Amino acid sequence: MHIDTAISSRKSVRRFLDTPVERATIMHILQVASRTPSGSNIQPWKVHVVAGTAKDQLCQRLLDTVDHGKSDPPEYHYYPQNWFEPYLDRRRRCGFGLYATLGISRDDKAKREAQARRNFHFFDAPVGLFITMDRRLETGSFMDCGMFIQSIMLTARGQGLHTCPQAAFAWYHTLIRDELKLDENSLLLCGIALGYEDTQAPENGFITERESAESFTTFYGF
């Protein structure tokens, strides 16, 4: 797959088929992604892959915790503490667009919560990945890990797979750290659902908008 096609066809898939993904395919994706650049080549990322009974057990613990209304204070702020434009409007259009695609009204709290709950079994994907880094590292390593996550998603497209990056897991870092036996310096950044897209699912037809390159680019000396 040409890199342009991989980038333009990548999307957040929110319903997967139960078709297994071979371990060799996962290792290929991660090996290619290992070529991601990082400051001074420190390669700060760690990957924890769950599937089968290990994934089922972890997801059940997560769902039980979610259903009891428990969560952790975040260890890092993914979003601004006080939203402002144009970012607030973009976020709202994304959320409202997804729920509209699913036929969920803005005031249907039960269905909105049920959809959000699906995060915690990786939207039915057969494979889940957790990305961590050492909490003693600095902001530059967040940038490095972001590029690594993108590399995983694009390499997955090259294998005919889809993904969904999921920050939602960061609010359950204590449980995940316990389940995966991670050390205290492991900072959970996000999860990634990995598998084959259910092309019949309406939510997978929702494609988010993008600003034109002209709107965010300034040229100098041209």
Cβ atoms of 188 and 169 closer than 8 Å: yes
> Over the stretch 18-57, which tens digit does the pLDDT of each residue have?
999 999 999 999 999 999 999 999 999 999 999 999 999 9
- Is 56 inside a domain boundary? yes
Q: Mean pLDDT across the stretch 6-16?
A: 98
Q: What is the pLDDT of residue 61?
A: 97
Helix axes 87-101, 109-117, angle to 10 degrees: 90
Q: What is the pLDDT of residue 83?
A: 97
CA dihedral for 129, 134, 135, 138, sign (positive or negative): negative
Q: What is the pLDDT of residue 33?
A: 98
Cis peptide before 86 (omega within 30 of 0): yes
CA dihedral for 202, 205, 208, 211, sign (positive or negative): negative
- Is 69 inside a domain boundary? yes
- Is 153 inside a domain boundary? yes
CB under 8 Å to 39, separation ≥6 — which residues? 140, 141, 143, 144
- 3-state SS assignment for residue 70: coil
Other CB atoms within 10 A of residue 119 CB:
21
Give the model's confidence band at 64: pLDDT under 50 very low, under 70 low, under 90 confident, else very high: very high
> Over the stretch 104-154, which tens digit does the pLDDT of each residue have?
998 999 999 999 999 999 999 999 999 999 999 999 999 999 999 999 999
> Over the stretch 84-93, which tens digit does the pLDDT of each residue have?
999 999 999 9
The domain that holds 163 is classified in CATH as: 3.40.109.10
Identity of the amino acid at 11: K
- Is 90 inside a domain boundary? no
- Is 8 inside a domain boundary? yes
Q: What is the pLDDT of residue 45?
A: 98
- Is 213 inside a domain boundary? no
CB under 8 Å to 192, separation ≥6 — which residues? 128, 129, 130, 131, 149, 152, 153, 163, 164, 165, 166
Domain of 166 in residue numbering reads as 3-78+120-202
Q: What is the pLDDT of residue 183?
A: 97
- Is 221 inside a domain boundary? no
pTM (2 d.p.): 0.96
Number of structural domains, the chain? Answer: 1
- Is 113 inside a domain boundary? no
pLDDT over 70, % of the chain: 100
> Over the stretch 173-219, which tens digit does the pLDDT of each residue have?
999 999 999 999 999 999 999 999 999 999 999 999 999 999 999 99
- 3-state SS assignment for residue 164: strand
Q: What is the pLDDT of residue 96?
A: 94
Cβ atoms of 190 and 149 closer than 8 Å: yes
| Mean pLDDT, all residues of the chain | 97
